[in-house]
Amino acid sequence: ISSGAGAIREQLVDLDLGIIIDYSLAEWKELGEEGPTGNEWEDQKVGRRKDFLVRRIELAKHFIRTNIEPEWMVLCLLLVLPPELRPIIQIDSGKLMSSDINELYRRVIYRNNTLIDLLTTSRSTPGELVMCQEKSVQEAVDTLLDNGIRGQPMRDGHNKVYKSFLDVIEGKEGRFRETLLGKRVDYSGRSVIVVEVAKSKIREKEPVVWEILQEVMQGHPILLNRAPTLHRLGIQAFQSILVEGHAICLHPLVCKGFNVDFDGDQMAVNVPLSLEAQAEACLLMFSHTNLLSPAIGDPISVPTQDMLIGLYVLTSSNR
């Protein structure tokens, strides 16, 4: 009798996604035809069942559309990281320092070899012993992927927890965020934002940009982003103007959409390169096309604080 992941894989191999879609759709239609029962608890139960059927149909359609077999969700082969990602370093005293991943791999190999010996050399091995060794191999693989998933994490001789795959890739210092997402990208930048003061421009009536560079940038939008990007207005497009200094001068009317203030916040700037990206930025992402909150519909660009004082001073009768 199969057990563990092997039994799950056998069940997944026998799945017929087309039949699953047909049966789920038929049950969903049947539940829809019954209508409300008058019992609130029963109606909620039927609603949850219908939502589950919809999700199951969508998942089955996705498997068919992408040519993915369900049994592929169960690993049959354990991938081995290249040596560069699990190095062995010799320190000054001549001792060797090895990555924690190597020790976890060693445990998997040792337990798997023991299982192979039980299956090949000892034909009279009790089935309970083989099943126990299979469980031991599974525990070693689980520890390699996520140390601590089975409760108490595995530690070395100095009571230090071994770092597993999950520890290597997760978090701010993980391989994804630090090495891939955190690397430098061309045509992008980051700087502190300051208020774009208009008082000096009104008084001097002189441009603060360089005409040649402004001509090059004219008509080419840029994208401003302030992390964390929690809604659509976290990234907006603007027409850039060159100014003195290294800070990004931001119009205070758009601060609410970005949820920023001028106490040291930083924003990232990106330049869309392709014509399709530029067209999308101009048509959908410019700040003047995002004046209302997408959540509740209230105006998002409303004068506050210094802007109200400035409007009062400009429109007061004694000036």
pLDDT tens, 99-133?
889 999 999 999 999 988 888 876 777 878 888 88
Residue boundaries of the structural domains of the chain: 4-73, 83-168, 188-314
pLDDT of residue 217: 78
78 CB burial (10 A radius; 0-12, 13-18, 19+): middle
Gap between the Cα atoms of 316 and 319, Å rounded: 6
pLDDT of residue 206: 52
**pTM for the structure as a whole:** 0.57
pLDDT of residue 212: 72
137 alpha carbon, distance to own chain's centre: 31
Is the per-residue pLDDT at 202 higher than 50? no
Mean pLDDT confidence for 279-290:
90
Query: From the CB of residue 281, how many other CB atoms can be counted at a distance below 10 Å?
Result: 21
N- to C-terminal Cα separation, the chain: 93
Instruction: Report the topology of domain 188-314.
Output: Barwin-like endoglucanases (2.40.40)
Please give the structure tokens belonging to residue 84.
């560069």
**194 φ, ψ (degrees, to nearest 5):** -130, 165
Gap between the Cα atoms of 311 and 292, Å rounded: 22
Residues paired with 286 in a beta bridge:
237
Residues paired with 232 in a beta bridge:
none
Higher pLDDT, 307 or 52: 52
pLDDT of residue 117: 87
